[in-house]
Amino acid sequence: MKLIEVRNLRKQYPNHLAVDDVSFEVAEGEIFGILGPNGAGKTTTVECIAGLRARDGGTVRVAGLDPNQDRDELRQVLGMQLQSAALPEKIKVWEAMDLYASFYPDPANWSELLDRVGLTGKRDSAFKKLSGGQRQRLSVALALVGRPRVAVLDELTTGLDPQARRDTWELVQQVRDSGVTIVLVTHFMEEAERLCDRLALIDAGRVVATDTPSGLIAQVGEEQRVRFRPSAPVADEVLLAVPEVSQVARSGDQVVVTGSGNLAPAVTLALARHQIVPGDLRIERATLDDAFLALTGRKLA
């Protein structure tokens, strides 16, 4: 079932066309990612979906509601964690939850929500005393307190250390498993590949592709690379004789073999026939970064 439908969305600022003919759909129950560089129009797009900005063209429907015309009804359906949202420094965690719960006729039990996001122990802490990861967890709890069908999470893990980022990813998956559809705005490739069922790649205000992460990567091709340090010199001809190998290159004392299929086992077997051991062997496949480069002509900074 389609929960969100965006058709030919357009948003114009005085000197900048931020969103230009953007279209995509989000199915109920999925984590849908909006991936692109800073300034690509990602946040403007989701702010139009959430009714925080009036669109200049196109149509948007969230559970059949028009964000421009049905803002009060939309608040009962959609919860949003804003990239730049900040609470008063002295407000306590429980006070923020209680305040947000008062905005809804049938809010979730916010004490249970705090437990779900791992903040029960910080219930009486002031906002300014929370770490970056704890603040993000609180923002997720606040987005969920109205029992929304869809939650929009905008650059949720920006500025977090690696462990806090992974903890937050686990929380996002738990939220989806509880029945909430998620729209995840990010510029982190690993985050998008790890969490999202489908993605819209956005660049310069336009959608350049929409697919699953693996589908986008497959557009680059099935090519892969094997990188290793040989225990003894090996001639290019030995490796090029392997059917799976298409190219051999060298980088310092490393050999980089490009090809397809079961490339790593085939190369390892060919080396073994010559009593050569591939040290520090790494298998490198195409990534979302490669897909973005192939589709836009530039890397995702």
The model's pLDDT over 119-176, given as tens digits with 9 standing for 90+, comes to 999 999 999 999 988 998 899 999 999 999 999 999 888 888 888 889 889 989 999 9
The model's pLDDT over 65-76, given as tens digits with 9 standing for 90+, comes to 999 999 989 999
**Beta-bridge partner residues of 210:** 200
Contact 289, 299 (CB under 8 A): yes
Per-residue confidence at 85, pLDDT binned at 50, 70, 90?
low
pLDDT of residue 83: 65
Q: What value does the mean pLDDT take over residues 275-282?
A: 94
Per-residue confidence at 84, pLDDT binned at 50, 70, 90?
low
Q: What value does the mean pLDDT take over residues 62-90?
A: 88
Q: What value does the mean pLDDT take over residues 169-189?
A: 92
**What's the 3-state SS for the chain?**
CEEEEEEEEEEEECCEEEEEEEEEEEECCCEEEEECCCCCCHHHHHHHHCCCCCCCEEEEEECCECCCCCHHHHHCCEEEECCCCCCCCCCEHHHHHHHHHCCCCCCCCHHHHHHHCCCHHHCCCEHHHCCHHHHHHHHHHHHHCCCCCEEEEECCCCCCCHHHHHHHHHHHHHHHHCCCEEEEEECCHHHHHHHCCEEEEEECCEEEEEECHHHHHHCCCCCEEEEEEECCCCCHHHHHCCCCEEEEEEECCEEEEEECCCHHHHHHHHHHCCCCCEEEEEEEECCHHHHHHHHHCCCCC
Contact 126, 89 (CB under 8 A): yes
pLDDT of residue 94: 96
Report the mean per-residue pLDDT for the chain.
Answer: 91
Distance CA 173, CA 151 (A): 12
